[in-house]
A and B are shown apart, each in its own frame.
Chain A
């Protein structure tokens, strides 16, 4: 009875470790394949469109609303202390340091990550990847590397767009709904927000999140069991693991960046 239980646990642990090993080897091969993408820029441009441009709408809409809600919440808290002119500070610091990169990472995992996994998984189940190998074309170079690089490039760009529209959303609420002067809003931001400490740290976070999410997404697609059930599970894992990885990495990076 106990030996069965131990065997089951051992089996699960072994399969987890072998998965981590496969994932690491996959990443290594993917990095080695990246130079190929520069010889075929059209592959990258096409993926930038699918992965980046097509995620833009959800990023814009989410960004505006997050900024607006933050401004309202900031007002509710700050007005009690007579510090409502600091709305812009609260909105911009929250967005630049945390919410911009984290929200973009989560939305990217849900929108583009799941699509990448499903696409690559379907290519595997319809033998397109095998077919490519037999035509002596390495799918790591032709399929995986362009998607991987497109993800890493897209996420920081999407994050910067999210940050911009969220601050504009906060600006709209502060000035149009709450009657704050435009000059107060911008001057507070200009005085207190640091380019390197706040903006660049946020961008570094977004780069790391992009790397992790797109790695999980392409690996899950490439490693999936090529059946409809396996593909469904792989897509779910991309969203769940990708989102958890973003949140976990956010904690680690925040602790490192802000010397807590």
Chain B
């Protein structure tokens, strides 16, 4: 009897109509002023290179916030700073009101378990475990659920990403897109409040990219997740985000809704969003004029 009820609940949760209705209810329940992650005066450097210079950022609960910028601007580093895997030189990161870098290791792990999930660029699946076991991994580690409950939950999470049929495959047998979807199922296994996506669209074919865009959008709305998407895929990211931060040279150079960013006056932002080859970021790497370089002859002359 209990099992029948459980299955009914599962069906209801993943019924398409129910997703839409949940969407409306979560949209109404989450206040727009509610900040889940607050970054203030954050500075971070690697060696002599300054990655971030006094940046401020707010990530709202229940929204999709995109962090965009060219390769090498430290977008992934920012996620690691928010997740407490790196320590900043200065500044604070508050997640759910707690200063991530002041917490004891056990309190940090507790905060991660409660609020954070992260989808790594490579998927970061455990290669010696099957798809099923990968998704079951956080459940086995952090809950005392029975084997039957874990089995049900894992199948439900895999159903959400459309890979229930791939549960017995090993990570080496998955395509890049499938690996990311499995990693996504694993990231939502413990129902975290926020998921951080590290370059989710990089290296994906158009179909996989479309699937990932849809998944991020649907999960954000259906489950009321807060999503932080780090990416340089402009159109895909802009299509699903509620708010965008554009970072370059260690600073936030523009922020706003996708529409505001699109109509930004900044030439730099226009070049980035439009994918133009030349502009404020020059096509040529800095060097002396071509003629002068040619006249110098080769080193062996």
Give the chain B neighbours of A175 by CB distance below 8 A.
none
Contact A128 B127 (CB under 8 A): yes
Give the chain A neighbours of B202 by CB distance below 8 A.
none
Chain B interface size band reads 20 to 34
* Known contacts A126-B122, A126-B124, A127-B124; A134/B117 CB under 8 A: yes
Contacts between chains A and B (CB distance < 8 A), count: 54
Q: Would you call A182 an interface residue if the criterion is a C-beta within 8 Å of the partner chain's C-beta atoms?
A: no
Give the chain B neighbours of A136 by CB distance below 8 A.
109-110, 112-113, 138, 141-142
A136, B111: Cα distance in complex, Å: 8
Q: Would you call A13 an interface residue if the criterion is a C-beta within 8 Å of the partner chain's C-beta atoms?
A: no
Give the chain B neighbours of A130 by CB distance below 8 A.
80, 85, 120, 124
Q: Would you call B83 an interface residue if the criterion is a C-beta within 8 Å of the partner chain's C-beta atoms?
A: yes
A165, B42: Cα distance in complex, Å: 62
A96, B247: Cα distance in complex, Å: 65
Q: Would you call A133 an interface residue if the criterion is a C-beta within 8 Å of the partner chain's C-beta atoms?
A: yes
Q: Would you call B145 an interface residue if the criterion is a C-beta within 8 Å of the partner chain's C-beta atoms?
A: no
Q: How far is the CB of A121 from chain B (nearest CB, A)?
A: 13
* Known contacts A127-B120, A127-B124; A134/B85 CB under 8 A: yes
Q: Would you call A137 an interface residue if the criterion is a C-beta within 8 Å of the partner chain's C-beta atoms?
A: yes
Q: How far is the CB of B175 from chain A (nearest CB, A)?
A: 16
* Known contacts A136-B142, A137-B138; A131/B124 CB under 8 A: yes
Q: Would you call A135 an interface residue if the criterion is a C-beta within 8 Å of the partner chain's C-beta atoms?
A: yes
Contact A137 B141 (CB under 8 A): yes
**B80 to A, closest residue via Cβ:** A130
**A129 to B, closest residue via Cβ:** B124
Among B85, B127, B138, contact of A126 (Cβ-Cβ < 8 Å): B127
Q: Would you call A54 an interface residue if the criterion is a C-beta within 8 Å of the partner chain's C-beta atoms?
A: no
Interface residues of A, count at CB 8 A: 14
Contact B109 A131 (CB under 8 A): no
Q: Would you call B174 an interface residue if the criterion is a C-beta within 8 Å of the partner chain's C-beta atoms?
A: no
Contact A134 B122 (CB under 8 A): no
Give the chain A neighbours of B109 by CB distance below 8 A.
136, 138
Q: How far is the CB of B173 from chain A (nearest CB, A)?
A: 16
Q: How far is the CB of A79 from chain B (nearest CB, A)?
A: 54
Contact B120 A135 (CB under 8 A): no
A134, B121: Cα distance in complex, Å: 14
* Known contacts A127-B120, A128-B127, A130-B124; A135/B85 CB under 8 A: no
Q: Quick one: CB contact mask for B90-130 with A, threshold 8 Å, 1 for yes? A: 00000000000000010001101100111011101111000
Give the chain A neighbours of B138 by CB distance below 8 A.
135-137
Q: How far is the CB of A11 from chain B (nearest CB, A)?
A: 12
Give the chain B neighbours of A137 by CB distance below 8 A.
137-138, 141-142
Q: How far is the CB of A254 from chain B (nearest CB, A)?
A: 40
- Provide a sorted-by-A list of 14 A–B residue pairs whose CB atoms are within 8 angstroms: A128-B124, A128-B125, A128-B127, A130-B80, A130-B124, A131-B126, A132-B126, A133-B112, A134-B85, A135-B190, A136-B138, A137-B137, A137-B138, A138-B109
Binding site for B on A (CB under 8 A): 123, 126-128, 130-138, 142
